[in-house]
């Protein structure tokens, strides 16, 4: 299965391939494409082993972040429904993320339940996949950017 959430083109879509080599009436071409995986439970179960988080380790930068004030890490290869519970090394739950959409992604803004940035360190993400009856645990290593607080 492809490692992305592919949307099939509309029926009747025409693709044109332009080449400098002339085609003749006797030339024949055949194309195949992977089958759609939407709604395929067996394929979704196969994706569980591919679930990961990036960037990992997070070194105060993610090229996909909007700006440096909104850091994120992204979980991928997730099914429609997932509950991601994030814990620190002491086993304290830091954040719960609930995913319920058709994308394969869920982002964590590196904040705790109170909306404060988490400290640098190692975190565990326990991912529960209720539709599939499966679970997965990932380690996430976070190095936060140094911040200078004017008031505290």
- Beta strand 93-100 with 52-54: parallel, antiparallel or unpaired? unpaired
**pLDDT tens per residue across span 117-140:** 888 899 999 999 988 888 899 999
State yes or no: pLDDT of 90 exceeds 50.
Answer: yes
Closest among 119, 62, 128 to 88, alpha carbons compared: 119
A 10 A CB-CB count for 47 gives 19
Per-residue three-class SS string for 74-123: EEECCCCEEEEEEECCCCCEEEEEEEECCCCCEEECCECCCCCECCCEEE
What's the pTM value of the predicted model, to 2 decimals?
0.65
At 20, list the tokens. 């400098």
Q: Is the dihedral of CA 10, 12, 18, 23 positive or negative?
A: positive
Running DSSP on this structure, what letter comes out for residue 20? S
With contact defined as beta carbons under 8 Å apart, do 139 and 123 qualify? yes
Q: How many Å apart are CA 118 and CA 143, to the nearest integer?
A: 10
**pLDDT tens per residue across span 55-70:** 888 877 666 666 666 7
């Amino acid at each position: 299965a492809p490692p992305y959430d592919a949307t099939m083109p509309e029926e009747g879509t025409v693709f044109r391939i332009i080449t400098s080599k002339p085609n003749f009436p006797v030339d024949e071409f055949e194309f195949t494409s992977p089958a759609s995986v939407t709604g395929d439970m067996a394929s979704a179960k196969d994706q569980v082993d591919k679930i990961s988080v990036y960037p990992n380790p997070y070194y105060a930068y993610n090229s996909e972040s909007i700006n440096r004030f909104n850091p994120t890490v992204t979980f991928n290869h997730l099914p429609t429904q997932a509950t991601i519970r994030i814990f620190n090394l002491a086993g304290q739950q830091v954040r719960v993320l609930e995913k319920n959409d058709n994308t394969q992604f869920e982002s964590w803004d590196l904040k705790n339940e109170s909306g404060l940035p988490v400290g640098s360190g190692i975190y565990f993400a326990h991912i529960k996949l209720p539709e599939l009856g499966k679970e997965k645990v990932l380690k996430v290593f976070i190095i936060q950017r140094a911040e200078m607080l004017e008031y505290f």
